[in-house]
Amino acid sequence: MIHCIEKNPFIPLIEQVFSNEYNYTGDLANLHKVLEKLPTESKEECIKIFTIGKDDRRNIFIKNFHKYVDESDQFTQTYHRFLKKYVQPLFPDDKIVIQKTPNIRFSFPESAAIGKHATENKDIIGYHCDSDFGHHHTEMNFIVPVTKMFGTNSLYYEPHQDSQIPIPDYENLVLSTTQFFQAYLNKQRHYNKLNLTNKTRISFDLRVIPYKKYMEHLADFQGTKFELGKYYIIL
Ligand SMILES: [Fe+2]
């Protein structure tokens, strides 16, 4: 399901990160131009297609983002304000447990935002659903774009769980920067393709669990990285 927002509050913050780090003041959809200025090793870290969960955090741009989140509370304040305004109302009966820091994804031209997984098909990169990686079935997923998401810079997803739709026929997620996406990616399978759009895609993804459901399944979370205060916090 696609939801609309008035103004995307994350764009100026992410612009600030790359202006501070690289003096880059252009359109974020052309952020790949910064890659030319990086030392070869950092550039390769950014554009190589990683193995899911193993080395996908080595990307220098992802590190730049996390440094910014750690050093200032501006991002966290904006993130919480966004969730209170647009996501909390989608759960009217309950407070919500949210992913403490969202994942940031970069899909550069000729690369992809997520890594390889068990698939032989080069056109289908990182095919999975989140429960494959130990995510809890009570999670709901949200994707918030920072640049326009379209075609091969975006993802492809199964419109509903157990759809039996052939993988190459999955839906392409098209989002403007004044929209965000909600889906049950815990069970709806999804993947990336090689980005052939000439535009960088930057987006956030995060998970939300209604508080009562989290408490009902508390034992599943205890002793794992998904405990409150670690991966999740109460909004
Ligand atoms: Fe996923």
**What pLDDT digit, counting tens, does each position of 11-26 carry?**
999 999 999 999 999 9
- From first CA to last CA, the distance across the chain in angstroms is 22
pLDDT at 123 over 90: no
pTM for this one?
0.92
* Gap from CA of 80 to ligand 1 centroid (Å): 22
What pLDDT is attached to residue 36? 80
Give the residue, 47 or 205, on which the prediction is more confident.
205
How far is 139 from 207, CA to CA, in rounded Å? 6
* Gap from CA of 118 to ligand 1 centroid (Å): 14
How far is 97 from 85, CA to CA, in rounded Å? 15
What pLDDT is attached to residue 120? 47
* Gap from CA of 170 to ligand 1 centroid (Å): 14
How far is 152 from 197, CA to CA, in rounded Å? 6
Mean pLDDT for 1-10 is 97
User: CA dist 225 to 3, 55, 102, 114, 121, Å?
Assistant: 30, 18, 15, 21, 32
* Gap from CA of 230 to ligand 1 centroid (Å): 19
Q: Give the CB-side neighbour count of residue 216, counting CA atoms within 13 A.
A: 9
* Gap from CA of 114 to ligand 1 centroid (Å): 9
Give Rg (Cα) of the chain.
Answer: 17
pLDDT at 89 over 80: yes
pLDDT at 59 over 90: no
